Amino acid sequence: MSIILPLLTGFISAAVGIAPPGLINMTAAKVSVKEGRDQAVFFIIGATIICFFQTLIALLFAKFIYSRPDVINLLQEVGLFIFMTLTFYFFWKAGRPKKPKTEIKLRSKKDRFFLGMLLSLLNMFPVPYYIFISISLSSYGYFFFDKPFVYTFVLGAVVGSYLMFYSYILFFKKQEEGKPSFFMNNGNYIIGSVTGIISLITIFKLIKPYFL
């Protein structure tokens, strides 16, 4: 079995899931600006370690759920609603005038590595996200629940998570220097387009049985 497919799907899944601005990636950017890039790297390493366990746990749950076709159909319908909502939200947000950025205060002076682990542990979004992603990919033949594939997918997700967190450090630094990045200027359109494509694919998957 080629390792390219699980690595690539894991990487892309993580990148799409982490791309929207959130507590972890924005905190990583602020740590970099206020305390230096090294501190921010320790922060995202801690966050990424928790992402590893969350992804693995999600895939174990997904393997169990995959044996229940009724649950799979329900998850696809729920996922369609979520992605359509996200699509409308990001395009709406992209069309709004930019507001001055508010200051995010970092009160904790603890080790950034453990702060990253703590914030990532409090973020439970990755578990249902990877359950939905793995089951959806499996229905199209792009995901398999055997151990080598699962572990390679997790590796791709970990690499994707780390690089996406790190990209926030770089992009935010450019903004502080007066050099807005392409992603920061067009990120909402990009993410909205991705979720829109996923919505269309899911709709096609749901209505396909009625035309066969």
In a domain, 126, yes or no: yes
String of DSSP letters for 160-193: HHHHHHHHHHHHHHHHHTT---HHHHHHHHHHHH
pLDDT tens figures, 12-62: 999 988 887 777 888 888 888 788 888 889 999 999 999 999 999 999 988
Confidence of residue 106 (pLDDT cuts 50, 70, 90): very low
| Mean pLDDT of all residues belonging to the chain | 78
Residue 55 CB neighbour total at 10 angstroms? 28
Position 65 in a domain: yes
Question: Which tens digits make up the pLDDT trace of 170-196?
Answer: 877 665 555 555 555 665 676 667 667
Task: Give CA–CA dist 6/1, Å, rounded.
Answer: 10
In a domain, 198, yes or no: no
CA pair distance 210, 212, nearest whole angstrom? 6
Is 139 inside a domain boundary?
yes
Find the Cα–Cα–Cα–Cα dihedral 16, 20, 22, 25, rounded to 10°.
Answer: 60
**Do residues 146 and 62 touch, judged by C-beta distance below 8 A?**
no
Question: Between residues 93 and 163, which one has the greater pLDDT?
Answer: 163
Angstrom distance (rounded) from CA 10 to CA 19: 14
Question: How confident is the model at residue 210, as a pLDDT?
Answer: 67
Going along the chain, which residue ranges are E strands? none
What is the domain extent for residue 142?
A: 4-83+97-178
The answer to whether the CB of 169 falls within 8 A of the CB of 24 is no
Cα 162 to Cα 72, 142, 175: the distances in Å are: 29, 23, 20
pTM (2 d.p.): 0.69
- On whether residue 66 sits in a domain, the answer given is yes
Is 200 a domain residue?
no
Q: 110 pLDDT band (50/70/90 cuts)? A: low
Q: How many domains does the chain have?
A: 1
